Structure 1
Amino acid sequence: MTARLYDLTSSWTFDSSQQDVWDVITAPDMSWPNWWPGCTLAKPLESQQTDGASKDDVLLSTTATLNFKASLGYTLKVAYHPTFVDSPREVDFDASGDLAGNGRVFLSTDSHGQTQMDIEWRVQPTRRWMTLLSPLAGPAFTYAHAALMRKGESGLRDYLIRQDRQR
């Protein structure tokens, strides 16, 4: 049985600058667990960094494997490997693990000076139980994704506010 393909999108808005948002989401230490509730590092970062590499080159040579605890009680382990970087605007990535496919994060600044972060996912579950349940549980999986993304947006917003206060 072939797993259902999920096309998932989210849009987040922040009062912080585009560069500040970019610096957090592309931090070389993959600080997402510091601000995203339900997110933990599944294993140490894998990187083929070389001395003198640019930040973009470091990002492109790094794979981060993260655990995400869904509101429905299951945990997904997903590895992210950037495939394209246009700093501080866009990062495309391949995903593997419990979800396989690709994604894109695009940052822009709106007319009010706010940073808009658009996230696109095109993934299929690889875990057998998710593949089998996808025809019936697809709406529940989509709901769990949306809830997890709301937590990420809220966590990142709070983290950016704390960073601004420390400056």
Structure 2
Amino acid sequence: MTSRLFDLNSTWHLPATPEYVWAVIADIDMSWPQWWPHCTFAAPLSRTEAKSNSQEDILKATTACLNFKASLGYTLTISIHPTEVAAPRKIDFDAGGNLNGTGRVLLTAENQGQATRMDIEWRVRPTQRWMNLLTPIAAPAFTAAHALMMRQGEKGLIKALAKQTPASAK
């Protein structure tokens, strides 16, 4: 049985400059569990030797394994490994674990550079047998659970940016 490809897209509008948003979402220690509700580390960060000390190369040498608890009660464990990094605007990544595929995060300045539009694209296939069996009837529920999880992430990031953003970065 070939699993269904899910194209999942989200757009977040964030009240900080792209550079500041980048500093939070692309930090090399992966702070997502600090601000994203229902997101936790499934394992410590894994890092191979980076080509240089640049943030881009360190990110490309890093794999994060995260748990996301969905509103429907299940937890997905997803590994995220950046494959292309162009600070402060784009990260392409491979996804593994319970969802296998690729993703992209794009940052675009809004409001004369004082706000940021963050577009998040996922092209993934479930790897768990139960999800593949239920997908023909549960795909709309899975997609809705993803949308809710993403809205929670957006709200969490907005709160984190409000607490941490210096006045000059807003």
Shorter-chain TM-score range? over 0.9
Give the drift of 1:52: 5.2
| Residue 115 in structure 1 maps to residue 116 in structure 2 | yes
Distance 1:73 1:51, change over 3 A: same
Name the structure 2 match of 1:126.
127
Q: Conserved in 1, the CA contact under 8 Å of 2:85 and 2:92?
A: yes
User: Any gaps of 5 or more consecutive residues in structure 1?
Assistant: none
How far apart, CA to CA, are the structure 1 residues paired with 2:130 and 2:69? 16
Moved over 6 A (4+): none
- CA separation in 1, counterparts of 2:167 and 2:99? 36
Q: Identity of aligned pairs, percent?
A: 54
Q: Measured at CA, do residues 45 and 166 of structure 1 come closer, stay the same or move farther in structure 2, by a change above 3 Å? A: farther
* Superposition TM-score, scaled by structure 2 size: 0.94
Report the aligned-residue RMSD: 1.5
AA aligned to 1:57 is: D
Q: Deviations over 1:45-64 (max 9, x none)?
A: 00014595111100000000
Look up the match of 1:7.
7
1:165 deviation in Å?
6.0
Structure 2: runs of 5+ lacking an equivalent: none
- Would you say the 8 A contact 2:52–2:58 is kept in 1? no
Q: 1:127-167, CA deviations, whole angstroms, 9 ceiling, x for partnerless residues? A: 00001111110000000000000000000000000002699
Q: Distance in 1 between matches of 2:50 and 2:108?
A: 30
Write the distance in 1 (CA, Å) between the matches of 2:50 and 2:152. 34
CA distance in structure 1 between the aligned counterparts of 2:129 and 2:15, rounded to whole angstroms: 41
**Correspondence for 2:36:** 36
Q: Does 1:89 align with 2:80?
A: no
Question: Do the aligned partners of residues 111 and 82 (structure 1) sit closer, same or farther apart at CA in structure 2, a change above 3 Å counting?
Answer: same
Instruction: Supply the distance in 2 between the matched residues of 1:147 and 1:75 (Cα, whole angstroms).
Output: 14
